[in-house]
Amino acid sequence: MKKTLPVFLGMLVGIYAVVEYFIPHHAVRGISTHVFEWGSIVAASAYVIGGVNLVQVTWPKIRRREQDWPYKVVLLGSAVVMLLIALPLRACSDAVPGTATITRQDAAAAARHVAIVELEAPADVLIKVAGTSTTATATPRVEVAPGKVEIKSGRRVVGYEAFATTVDVAAGDVVHVSTDPAMVWGTDGRARTWVFDHVFGPCNATMFALLAFFVASAAFRAFRARNFEAGLLLGSAIIVLLARAPMGRAIAGWLPDLAQWILDIPSNGSRRAIMMGAAVGAIATGLRVILGIERSHLGGEE
């Protein structure tokens, strides 16, 4: 029963996922939407289980001081830091991104039939008054026509709470706008964005830069013309590499065109054949799972 029920559920959902594409009825689409939502919940649960598994696997190795345990400390520490800064918290719970209040009347402005907006904000805050962008340091006072005036503010970088309001002003009104958007937390927060841009991004680029040397080493070992196929691969690789380098056109004007032909015709055709073969294999594997023939995902050997 432990394996029969999961196999039956997998068959039921898999067959429905295939059949629903051929039933153009709104009720079927509604059921599909619910099934996909359940799938999203299961996927989210898998992330939680993965985090728990990460702790269960790495913490005992750190405690026993096994080989390379300091790297596992960095791994766990980085995971905890990213978890904390990705929580949707406010840097200051009572922080207000901005205020806009009518403070007084200006007789000179009333005579000119305009209202005045006074701006107070840090230099890095961009303020938009009635569709015109400025800063408090560049334009501390803005004259606007009487009526509804839309005021928005935000910092030039992402991860800060925006401020937006509409003030109904009359001629001679002086509106004092004070805005200082606070940093927000969460998946779109400033801290997460900064870590992604200044820590993860450079580490990712470094890893791929080092990967280039491993690729070059593997290519040196693989591109040995032991037979005709290996020689063909070696020749094509040399042509494409030379053509992509600045010296390629200097060596021969037709070399870049030949390299482009290799990429567009033989390489592209081979890539499509591999993709089609992989698609057929994926379909066959999916059918084996749906029909209960393939059960390795349940922990068995059959």
Nearest residue to 124 (alpha-carbon basis) of 190, 70, 48: 190
Dihedral sign (CA 95, 100, 105, 106): positive
Q: Are residues 105 and 80 in the same domain?
A: no
Q: How far apart are alpha carbons 145 and 175 in whole angstroms?
A: 12
- Whether residue 94 has pLDDT greater than 70: no
Average pLDDT rounded to a whole number, residues 105-118 = 92
Q: Are residues 211 and 253 in the same domain?
A: yes
Helix (H, G, I), strand (E, B) or coil at 90: strand
Give the domain-ending residue among 54, 85, 116.
85
Q: 120 vs 296, which has greater pLDDT?
A: 120
Looking at residue 172, which CATH number applies to its domain? Answer: 2.60.40
- pLDDT at position 149 is 93
Minimum mean pLDDT range among 63-67, 85-89, 242-246, 265-269: 85-89
- Whether residue 168 has pLDDT greater than 90: yes
pLDDT band at 293; cut points 50, 70, 90: confident
Q: Are residues 173 and 197 in the same domain?
A: no
Give the domain-ending residue among 85, 114, 136.
85
The model's pTM is 0.52
Angle among Cα 101, 106, 109 to the nearest 5 degrees reads 110
Residues whose CB falls within 8 Å of the CB of residue 177, separated by 6 or more in sequence, listed in order: 98, 99, 100, 117, 118, 119, 120, 121, 127, 129, 151, 153
297 lies in some domain: no
pLDDT band at 13; cut points 50, 70, 90: confident
pLDDT digits (tens, 9 = 90+) for 14-32: 788 778 778 877 777 788 8
- Whether residue 292 has pLDDT greater than 50: yes
168 lies in some domain: yes
Q: Are residues 214 and 271 in the same domain?
A: yes
Nearest residue to 232 (alpha-carbon basis) of 223, 243, 221, 244: 223
- Whether residue 93 has pLDDT greater than 60: no
Phi first, then psi, for residue 41 (nearest 5°) are -65, -40
Q: Are residues 197 and 166 in the same domain?
A: no
261 lies in some domain: yes
Q: How many domains does the chain have?
A: 3
**Bridge partners, residue 128, by sequence:** 133, 152
59 lies in some domain: yes
Q: Are residues 42 and 17 in the same domain?
A: yes
Average pLDDT rounded to a whole number, residues 110-135 = 92
Burial of residue 70, with CB atoms counted within 10 A of its CB: 0-12 exposed, 13-18 middle, 19 or more buried: exposed
pLDDT band at 117; cut points 50, 70, 90: very high
Q: Are residues 169 and 238 in the same domain?
A: no
Q: Are residues 114 and 44 in the same domain?
A: no
Mean pLDDT of the chain: 84
In single-letter form, the type of residue at position 198 comes to: H
151 lies in some domain: yes
- Whether residue 4 has pLDDT greater than 80: no
Angle among Cα 101, 97, 172 to the nearest 5 degrees reads 20
Residue 223: give the domain boundaries. 190-289
pLDDT band at 92; cut points 50, 70, 90: very low
Q: How far apart are alpha carbons 162 and 154 in whole angstroms?
A: 5
Question: Phi-psi category of 115—alpha, beta or left, where left has phi over 0 and alpha has psi -120 to 50?
Answer: beta
243 lies in some domain: yes
- pLDDT at position 283 is 87
- Whether residue 221 has pLDDT greater than 80: no
Give the domain-ending residue among 179, 211, 241.
179
Q: 98 vs 27, which has greater pLDDT?
A: 98
pLDDT band at 151; cut points 50, 70, 90: very high
209 lies in some domain: yes
Percent of the chain with pLDDT over 90: 30
Q: Are residues 76 and 153 in the same domain?
A: no
- Whether residue 176 has pLDDT greater than 90: yes
Q: How far apart are alpha carbons 28 and 110 in whole angstroms?
A: 64
222 lies in some domain: yes
Q: Are residues 248 and 269 in the same domain?
A: yes
Average pLDDT rounded to a whole number, residues 145-174 = 90
- pLDDT at position 225 is 62
Minimum mean pLDDT range among 72-81, 116-125, 210-219, 261-270: 210-219
Nearest residue to 153 (alpha-carbon basis) of 96, 88, 85: 96
